[in-house]
Amino acid sequence: MRIAINTGGGDAPGLNAVIRAAVLAAQGRGWDVVGIRRGYSGLFKPHGIVPLTERAVSGITHMGGTILGTSNRGNPFSFPVERSGGTVEMVDRSDQVISRIEELGIDCLIAVGGDGSLRIAAELANKGLKVVGVPKTIDNDLDATAVTFGFHTAVQTATDAIGKLHSTAEAHQRVMVVELMGRHAGWIALFAGFASTADVILIPEIPYDLARVAEKIGERWAEGSEFAIIVVAEGAVPKGGEASYLEKPALSGGRRLGGVAKMIAWQLEELTGHETRSLVLGHLQRGGEPIAFDRILSLSFGTAAVELIAKGQFGCMVALDPPRVRGVPLAQAVSKLKTVPLDHELILSARAMGISFGD
Ligand code: F6P
């Protein structure tokens, strides 16, 4: 038996722990393991396939990033190919991916990724590739698993950062608006905002009204707490409006989520008369060492993926269904974006404590 592992999409703390666990579990069964570098691109590159031995995965559990590299531009169904004259054409290379995997004698692929990468894995499975998925994303927006690895580390990083904002906000009697990742789901903002006792948390699931946010800031000043911390998810939407995007024609898709904190800060300064500053925490949330929870989850996912292969459960993704890790069909796993339910216990608790959601 020979299996391959690749990591695709944005990185998340815990990827290396998955790789280590899968390699050790596979070797324990006498299987051979290789890694495909940078998503699927390694299949077509001179040094793109690397042997994953016990030695290769030694001492990597705690490391952020991925020893295999990753890419969010390597969709084999829409692969960018540079043509003469510098133009880029998107071509379907999925058949080549499958035949190259066969050529390399690979019996099954473990695809570690978020919804984009797992969607690709599901499509490759439909075309006959034996593949098992592992859910990764700091955004925690995959519905079929109770939690994705990387999420809790991102929450910890954001919580630590917001903690530091408190003192500078208080020293200057300022409003600080901090923008967190999460795409169209508010998980990171909700958890980090709650843990760091933000005054206002704005998430895509609850459209905000800045007049209500300004009211909350007014209350803070009235009660003698002359500073405020506002946590906003990058995908937050104003009532009756749209999420903020950074427009750049050269971007794939032409635009990228972002800019909401700056926009809100300017408007709030006008509305409240209080000095306001904004910051975007950005990719810091994806970097660094996974916390213990994510290491444990990643290691469990890695061994569970090998277990699924051993049972012949291809076309599945490992998922946490507490207290167990089990397999769910990939097609089901990518069918729905997991957003924060409006009656989530953290929302209810936060409201009970006077935290505003801007609604
Ligand atoms: O999916 C994870 C994520 O970190 C999102 O929260 C964010 O919008 C996106 O990736 C940014 O990705 P990149 O800058 O790598 O394109």
Segment 5-19, tens digit of pLDDT: 999 999 999 999 999
CATH topology of domain 153-286: Rossmann fold (3.40.50)
Q: Is pTM beyond 0.85 here?
A: yes
Distance separating alpha carbons of residues 25 and 194, to the nearest angstrom:
38
Q: CB-hemisphere CA count at 13 Å for 194?
A: 17
pLDDT tens digits, 143-181: 999 999 999 999 999 999 999 999 999 999 999 999 999
- 181 Cβ inside 6 Å of ligand 1: yes
- 14 Cβ inside 6 Å of ligand 1: no
Q: Indicate which residue of 11, 139, 141, 294 is catalytic.
A: 139
- 158 Cβ inside 6 Å of ligand 1: no
Give me the pLDDT at residue 253, please. 58
- 100 Cβ inside 6 Å of ligand 1: no
Regions of the chain short of the pLDDT cut 70: 249-254
- Class of the CATH-defined domain 2-149+290-333: alpha beta
Give me the pLDDT at residue 254, please. 67
Give me the pLDDT at residue 103, please. 97
| Residue 144 per-residue DSSP state | T
| Closest C-alpha among 2, 10, 18 to residue 320 | 18
Concerning whether 139 is annotated as a catalytic residue, the answer is yes
Residue whose CA lies nearest to ligand 1 atom number 8: 183
Distance separating alpha carbons of residues 103 and 321, to the nearest angstrom:
36
Sequence spans of domains, the chain? 2-149+290-333, 153-286
Residue whose CA lies nearest to ligand 1 atom number 10: 10
Q: From 118, 286, 334, give the residue whose CB has the most ligand 1 atoms within 8 Å, as the site to mutate.
A: 286
Give me the pLDDT at residue 249, please. 62
2-149+290-333 matches 153-286 in fold? yes
Q: What share of the chain is helix, strand, coil (3-state, %, to 5)?
A: 35, 20, 40
